[in-house]
């Protein structure tokens, strides 16, 4: 666990000190026009844009480049990032960064592009492979400034201290975590969300929901993060379905953009839990969408955690108008599970991991690898390999 929350020396946990990490945030329709001024504030002269070809085809990179050019900046583009970014993609982008003499890294896209951008920054300030930095606070030297522009509504990578990269040799996702990875500036323009395909809108929306819930029940939760976590959960519940049925509804898009932002601020300061620890392993093995895997796993992880610690789930359920006053915690948690599963059904997420391509032969290795994920350390219930296997089998 990081030092995000330190108890006072006298051991009085009620008086714990809280560190809340956040970038400068620019939010609202038309915010992309601020990218040039933001980059200039970071000292950019030759920024590297890390993105994917879908975002380039959508036209957002061209618009961003124009705004950068308007303030005298010549940007370089690396657009070869794929979903669940690979270590070799990060290395290739770092080589371009150095060859072109770049000085600031801009991530434009979903979580994959933004995670890759963070990976480039890590390698620009350190030596070795990106996989050498797995774990917590191993990035010890200064890295270039980071500016993020999300085009999806769920990953929270634009404000978080996480970087997730796929190790293609071991077929696992590696979690890199540290305060150095919190971007300097995040620009959220809800207009950019309209070019997401429907499946990605559903997946990232469920990712934001998972971020909010796991951050709120995390062992590292704190009052500052709690506010963002609960607000994110409520916004997803209110707006996700509307963005599926009315993609151009600006109110719904703005609501989901804010949900992603709030959830990101929550989990970067309270960390996550078993859903993410397990989802990272499934994603590394199957190269499946992260938010979809979360949608399958989250109900089962809530049931598991609620067996020993249902109280925090009561607060979440009440925020959604679920559960009667005085009802047993386990009963309220189950009602929350049913509500989440209903939402997942409505946005078209599979009910089982088997539908994604998993089978019994994968469970032992996935469970073992989950124990090494930093997210598991803040899960509200302690877990060993047998516990994780039990959750995987329930979700299979």
Select the more confidently predicted residue: 123 or 1.
123
Percent of the chain beyond pLDDT 70?
96
Helices 198-217 and 311-319 cross at an angle (nearest 10°) of 130
| Predicted pLDDT at 127 | 87
Mean pLDDT of 100-113: 97
pLDDT at 4 over 80: no
Percent of the chain beyond pLDDT 90?
90
| Predicted pLDDT at 50 | 98
Q: What is the pLDDT of residues 194-226, one digit of tens each?
A: 999 999 999 999 999 999 999 999 999 999 999
Q: What is the pLDDT of residues 124-148, one digit of tens each?
A: 988 899 999 999 999 989 999 999 9
Instruction: List the Cα angle 123/96/140 in 5-degree steps.
Output: 10
| Predicted pLDDT at 211 | 98
pLDDT at 10 over 80: no
| Predicted pLDDT at 8 | 32
Q: What is the pLDDT of residues 27-62, one digit of tens each?
A: 999 999 999 999 999 999 999 999 999 999 999 999
pLDDT at 6 over 70: no
- For 259, the token pair is 């949900």
| Predicted pLDDT at 260 | 98
Q: What is the pTM of this model?
A: 0.94
Question: Which residues, in sequence order, are bridge partners of residue 76?
Answer: 48
Q: What is the pLDDT of residues 337-393, one digit of tens each?
A: 999 999 999 999 999 999 999 999 999 999 999 999 999 999 999 999 999 999 999
pLDDT at 11 over 50: no
Reported as a pLDDT band with limits 50, 70 and 90, residue 301 is: very high
Q: Give 39's contacts (C-beta < 8 A, 6+ positions apart).
A: 47, 68, 71, 73, 104, 106, 147
The mean pLDDT of the chain is 94
| Predicted pLDDT at 329 | 87
Reported as a pLDDT band with limits 50, 70 and 90, residue 179 is: very high
Q: What is the CATH number of domain 24-193?
A: 3.40.50.1970
pLDDT at 14 over 60: no
Which candidate, 225, 206, 230, places its Cα nearest to that of 313? 230
| Predicted pLDDT at 15 | 52
Reported as a pLDDT band with limits 50, 70 and 90, residue 309 is: confident
Residue pair 329/306 in contact (Cβ under 8 Å)? The answer is yes
Which candidate, 215, 230, 157, 160, places its Cα nearest to that of 378? 215
Q: Give 79's contacts (C-beta < 8 A, 6+ positions apart).
A: 51, 52, 53, 55, 56, 61
| Predicted pLDDT at 246 | 95
Domain extents in the chain? 24-193, 197-395
User: From edge to edge, which strands make up the β-sheet containing 146-150?
Assistant: 24-27, 185-188, 146-150, 105-109, 48-50, 76-78
Mean pLDDT of 114-130: 95
pLDDT at 168 over 80: yes
Q: What is the CATH number of domain 197-395?
A: 1.20.1090.10
């Amino acid at each position: 666990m990081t030092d995000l929350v330190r108890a006072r020396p006298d051991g009085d946990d009620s008086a714990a000190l809280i560190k809340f990490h956040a970038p400068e945030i620019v939010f609202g329709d038309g915010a992309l026009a601020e990218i040039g001024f933001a980059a200039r504030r970071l000292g950019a002269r030759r920024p590297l844009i890390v993105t994917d070809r879908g975002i380039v085809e959508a036209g957002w990179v061209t618009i961003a480049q124009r705004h950068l050019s308007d303030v005298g900046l010549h940007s370089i583009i690396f657009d070869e990032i794929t979903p669940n970014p690979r270590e070799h993609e990060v290395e290739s982008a770092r080589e371009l960064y150095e060859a072109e003499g770049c000085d600031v890294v801009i991530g434009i896209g979903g979580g994959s592009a933004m995670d890759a951008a963070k990976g480039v920054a890590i390698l620009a300030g350190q030596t070795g492979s990106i996989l050498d930095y797995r774990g917590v606070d191993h990035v010890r030297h200064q890295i270039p400034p980071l500016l993020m522009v999300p085009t999806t509504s769920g990953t929270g990578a634009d404000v978080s201290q996480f970087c997730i990269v796929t190790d293609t040799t071991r077929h696992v996702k590696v979690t890199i975590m540290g305060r150095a990875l919190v971007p300097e500036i995040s620009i959220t323009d809800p207009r950019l969300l309209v070019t997401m395909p429907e499946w990605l809108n559903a997946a990232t929306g469920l990712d934001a929901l998972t971020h909010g819930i796991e951050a709120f029940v995390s062992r590292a939760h704190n009052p500052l993060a709690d506010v963002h976590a609960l607000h994110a959960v409520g916004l997803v519940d209110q707006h996700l379905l509307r963005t599926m049925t009315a993609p151009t509804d600006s109110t719904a898009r703005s609501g989901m953009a804010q949900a992603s932002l709030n959830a990101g601020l929550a989990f970067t300061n309270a960390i996550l839990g078993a859903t993410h620890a397990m989802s990272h392993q499934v994603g590394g093995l199957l190269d499946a969408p992260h938010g979809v895997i979360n949608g399958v796993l989250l109900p089962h992880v809530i049931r598991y955690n609620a067996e020993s610690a249902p109280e925090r789930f009561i607060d979440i359920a009440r925020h959604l108008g679920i559960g009667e006053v005085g009802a047993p915690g386990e009963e309220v948690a189950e009602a929350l599970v049913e509500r989440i599963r209903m939402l997942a059904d409505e946005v078209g997420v599979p009910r089982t991991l088997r539908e994604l391509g998993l089978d019994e032969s994968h469970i032992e290795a996935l469970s073992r690898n989950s124990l090494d994920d930093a997210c598991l350390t803040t899960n509200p219930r302690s877990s060993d390999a047998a516990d994780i296997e039990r959750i995987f089998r329930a979700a299979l």
